[in-house]
Amino acid sequence: TYVVTDNCIRCKYTDCVEVCPVDCFYVGETMLVINPDECIDCGVCEPECPADAIKADTEPGLDGWIALNAKYAALWPNISEKRDPLGDAAEWDGRPGKLESVFG
Ligand code: SF4
Ligand code: F3S
């Protein structure tokens, strides 16, 4: 499966939801997550993210993000259409420590 990681936070470009063939993205206030039970591992979304936030879960070091995606996919509503990114998305793009900035 694929997972949404740190750099989606406070950006939310949502280009990813437009290309997902199974609409398995879920939306929170500051980021999106992928439902691991619904993702068919097609990989189409990964190059679409302007913030490079989507990763294959086979990459090392993603355990926390895998757990976070699974947890919030069960709690947040589905999103299947592109929305405007957050107003200060460009400012936040690439900043370290985003997770701590919203969940900490
Ligand atoms: Fe959707 Fe494919 Fe991305 Fe999974 S890998 S979230 S199925 S676009
Ligand atoms: Fe987030 Fe990238 Fe999608 S910033 S909303 S994972 S296009």
- Whole-number Å distance between alpha carbons of 89 and 67: 24
CA 43 – ligand 2 centroid, Å: 14
Q: What is the pTM of this model?
A: 0.96
Q: Which atom of ligand 1 is nearest to the CA of 38?
A: 7
- Write out the E strands in the chain: 2-4, 25-27, 32-34, 54-56
10-residue block means of pLDDT along the chain (104 residues)? Answer: 96 97 97 98 98 97 97 98 94 92 76
Domain ranges of the chain: 2-81
Q: What architecture is domain 2-81?
A: 2-Layer Sandwich (3.30)
2 C-alpha vs ligand 1 centroid, how far in Å? Answer: 6
Q: What is the ipTM of this complex?
A: 0.97
Radius of gyration from C-alpha coordinates of the chain: 12
Q: Is the CB of 42 under 6 A from ligand 1?
A: yes
Write down the pLDDT at residue 101. Answer: 86
